[in-house]
Amino acid sequence: MDSRLQELIESIYAAAEMPAMWPSVLERISATLDCRIMLGVWDPYGDARSMHLVNGFDSSFVNDYNTYWHKKDPFIRRAQESPEIRRRLLAGELVGSHEGVPDAELRHTEVYNDLLLPERMRRGLCASLEDGDGVQGYFGIWLNPKLDEAKPRQMAILQHLMLHVRRAVRIQIALATSGFSQESPVARAGVGMLALSQDRRLLSANSEGERILRLQDGLALHRGKLRTSFSEDQVELDRALTDHSVTVVSPDTPLLLRMRRPSGRTPYLVMVSRVSREGILGQAMRSYFVLLVTDGERTPPSRERAIQILLGVTTAQAAIIARLCEGKSPKEIAGELAVTLHTVRSHLRDIANRTGITGQANLIRVVVQATAGLP
């Protein structure tokens, strides 16, 4: 068993780098412990409290749970309401389902009679992925229906594996947000970068973003969520984050917000864009929001540098876009940059493919709005 356990642990960390491996990892854990498994991160990219990965459950069960039953789940409610259970989960302990919801109470619930009983599920164990630092999720198993409670050996193995699953998920999250490193172009340009879930919870920030938040002058954190200093600005920010059409490739949606500061200093210019990527555990694409915050009191990046950062284009393409915004034609730009007209047009096609912004007029409008005031 020791060699099998070591192989399982190695596969857990491998899945942190290759999310597509998570289903096979769960299958191996399930076979080792003779149980059915649920694993999910229920933030940081939205989709609160839904099953992301399961083993031993069919797709209809998962769909029913995610669309209806999670709202009625007594185990989730009890974990939220009980300080003792929450303390144990945060400490990394396994908590039995009967400890949160006694059997006598569970039998009278809709969840038990209409969901669990048909699946022959009664007793389970749950551990939290949360460690007090913002990661929220669960690792749960449902025992073989022949067992009233987990065997000591089963509990010991599961507890040991849980520690590694928790660490692996944190590694996966770190890898997913690695674009916020201090070496990124945004960091070097002195632009604050904040990644937010749709409910405004901060996922990550670069050093300039952290500095801006520490000032608490226009933008700050309150219980882990981004707040503005003025209610009118909060309304605008909330509207941007709840409007699913907000994205850097949607020219018809206002992308630039101005956040006033109680100190009277120059308002922050905030560019809001929406990013979609593979979910933390390899599930369907998730979306979150990136806010690029420019502090006018500090030396701003050049217009070309800002264009490169905001649109994700090359240096040469940023130079072409900047000149378009000055009213120059592709032919004039080709002459100024000492390249052929064919090269300029090729770059413009690639810019459209990269950003999704079609038409030079739309491109100019987005860039002018986003880089107003930059040299």
Q: Residues 20-77: pLDDT tens digits?
A: 777 888 888 888 877 787 766 544 333 444 556 677 777 777 778 777 887 788 887 7
What pLDDT is stored for residue 282 in this prediction? Answer: 44
Q: Is the pLDDT of residue 125 over 90?
A: no
What pLDDT is stored for residue 231 in this prediction? Answer: 93
Distant-in-sequence, close-in-space partners of 363: CB < 8 Å, separation ≥ 6: 251, 321, 324, 351, 352, 355, 357
Which residue among 176, 192, 219 closes a domain? Answer: 176
**Are 283 and 355 spatial neighbours (Cβ–Cβ below 8 Å)?**
no
What pLDDT is stored for residue 276 in this prediction? Answer: 55
Question: Do 336 and 271 fall within a single domain?
Answer: no
Question: Do 295 and 322 fall within a single domain?
Answer: no
Question: Do 63 and 109 fall within a single domain?
Answer: yes
Residue with tokens 């899945």: 15
Question: Do 20 and 167 fall within a single domain?
Answer: yes
* Counted domains in the chain: 3
Question: Do 124 and 50 fall within a single domain?
Answer: yes
Question: Do 126 and 189 fall within a single domain?
Answer: no
Tell me the C-alpha distance between 270 and 290, whole Å: 10
Question: Do 310 and 274 fall within a single domain?
Answer: no
Question: Do 168 and 39 fall within a single domain?
Answer: yes
Q: Is the pLDDT of residue 251 over 90?
A: no
Structural domain for 353, as ranges: 301-375
Question: Do 162 and 49 fall within a single domain?
Answer: yes
Q: Is the pLDDT of residue 98 over 50?
A: yes
- Which CATH number covers residue 93? 3.30.450.40
Question: Do 123 and 187 fall within a single domain?
Answer: no
Q: Is the pLDDT of residue 299 over 70?
A: no
Q: What percent of the chain has pLDDT over 90?
A: 14
Question: What mean pLDDT do residues 278-291 have?
Answer: 55
Q: Is the pLDDT of residue 199 over 50?
A: yes
> What global pTM score does this model have?
0.47
What pLDDT is stored for residue 219 in this prediction? Answer: 96
Question: Do 46 and 81 fall within a single domain?
Answer: yes
**Are 33 and 158 spatial neighbours (Cβ–Cβ below 8 Å)?**
yes
Question: Do 236 and 280 fall within a single domain?
Answer: yes
